[in-house]
Amino acid sequence: MLTSILYNDMTYWLLGTAIVFTLFGRYTATLRNNVKTVVESTIDSLIEQGYIKTKGKGDNIEILKHWE
């Protein structure tokens, strides 16, 4: 009975689907991390070039509005 449950077509489909969506989830998590890194680098570059005004240093940095 247990072998008929473990070794049938539906079990293989479910296992294959689980593997595919696990890989897809890891891929999208990697993309999200890459996007975050690119955005952080872009904002840091704009701050260094003087296009964005800031107040504070390090982790306590605050972006000021254009009229401040």
Segment 4-26 shows an average pLDDT of: 91
User: Looking at residue 55, what DSSP letter applies?
Assistant: E
Confidence at residue 41, expressed as pLDDT on a 0 to 100 scale: 92
| Lowest-confidence region among 4-8, 10-14, 38-42 | 4-8
Question: Is residue 28 in some structural domain?
Answer: yes
Instruction: With 0.85 as the threshold, say if the pTM is over it.
Output: no
Q: Is residue 45 part of a domain?
A: yes
Position 24 scores a pLDDT of 96
Q: Give the total number of structural domains in the chain.
A: 1
User: Which two tokens mark 54?
Assistant: 């800031």
Q: Which of 43, 49, 35, 45 is nearest to 63 (CA)?
A: 43
For residue 68, tell me if it sits in a domain: no
Evaluate if residue 14 carries a pLDDT over 90.
yes
Name the residue range of residue 55's domain: 2-63
Residue 25's alpha-carbon distances to 17, 18, 28, 51, 66, in angstroms, are 12, 10, 5, 36, 39
Q: So what's the pLDDT on residue 68?
A: 64
Q: Residue range 30-34: average pLDDT?
A: 85
Residue 61 makes CB contacts below 8 A (sequence gap 6+) with 47, 54, 55
